[in-house]
Amino acid sequence: MSTSTDLRDVAKRRETECRIEAEAFDLWLSFLDKTNWITDILPAILSTVAGAAIFGLFLPQWDIWAGMAAFLSSALIVIHKMRNCDAHQAECKRLIRAYRGLATKYRTFHEIDVDNPDQHFSMLETIIATISETADARIPEKYRQKAKERVIGKEAYPEKTA
């Protein structure tokens, strides 16, 4: 059996780890949201331009522009689908929720006395292991580093509540 103080120290570290992971996935998802303009919205606009080929009767070389717009639109849609972007973003959102929820549970553990601390801590460790084992999304390490700076900076300078 571990001492309650040891478990609380580990729980505090785990809370920070979970907050970092949630923040890292959130930062990555924020970047992906911007790229959606290219892979989701731009193809819709280009398809509309291509569909306007009927105006080719009135404007010279409109068919060339419409053809290029249709080709580019198709290429962007194929890239989006081949990269499985929608599923990846959904998994990132799931992981953000999971890590935030777990951070709250670890915080509760290290701030409040709980019955059967060994059993409770073991349950939390099982949950974090399951999240790690089932995670289908990976993120570039630079987002994790930026998240560490944000989370650790927040801990070093906590917000004052009035």
Upper half-sphere CA count for residue 77 (Cβ side, 13 Å): 12
Contacts of 38 (CB under 8 A, 6+ apart): 76
Residue 56: its pLDDT value, please? 63
pLDDT attached to residue 162? 43
Per-residue model confidence (pLDDT) at position 1: 45
pLDDT in tens, the chain (162 residues): 457 779 999 999 999 999 999 999 999 999 998 888 877 777 887 887 777 766 666 667 777 777 888 888 888 888 877 777 889 999 999 999 999 999 999 999 999 888 888 999 999 999 999 999 999 999 999 999 999 999 998 655 455 554
Rounded to two decimals, what is the model's pTM? 0.77
Written as one string, the DSSP assignment of 12-36 is HHHHHHHHHHHHHHHHHHHHHHHHH
For the chain, which residues make up each domain, given as ranges? 4-156
> C-alpha distances in angstroms, 20 versus 13, 121, 149?
11, 20, 9
pLDDT for 49: 76
* Coil, helix or strand at residue 114: coil
The reported pLDDT for the residue numbered 95 is 98
